[in-house]
Amino acid sequence: MQTIQNQFSWCDVEPEIKQLLLLASENWQNTGLAEKYIREALSRAGNNLDVLVGAYRFFFYKHQPAVALSIAQQVLQLITTQENLPVDWSQLKPILVTRKQEPNIRLYLNAYAATGLVLAQLGKIEQAKLVSERVKEIDDNREFCATTVFEVITREPDEED
């Protein structure tokens, strides 16, 4: 049997937090209980990127887009601070293009693309278009799914698949 440390070797957090994440995973079908474990992990882990990313994905898949969006925005803000990224898109875009293979920048792009998808789910189509178009400009290999989101939300209603 794998130890908790080995099961979440990619996640750099205390064993107690890894245990909470494992419990959330094991209780996936019981959304209330799984959410309790995720929220506890969030409160104990502070601004740990691994936990934040896992949490926004959890809430996305549990159909809680407003919570997923809030946590994804935390990820963006944390990486912006850690990497000293500019807020202005015209300054940020060239940095993202140049550094898009770096782990934190990839996390940033994933979280940013996720915000575009969640904004679309929330009916904030113009914001979703802006975000997905920005990521699409950087994502020449369609790794972050922003191109697909952009195509779906900009498709004319009478267009066929």
Name residues whose C-beta falls within 8 Å of residue 160's C-beta, 6 or more positions apart in sequence. none
**pTM confidence score:** 0.87
How does pLDDT run across 57-110, given as a tens digit for each residue? 999 999 999 999 999 999 999 999 999 999 999 999 999 999 999 999 999 999
Asked if 124 and 102 touch (Cβ cutoff 8 Å), the reply is no
How does pLDDT run across 123-154, given as a tens digit for each residue? 999 999 999 999 999 988 888 888 888 889 98
Any idea which residue has 């191109």 for tokens? 147
Average pLDDT on 157-161 reads 63
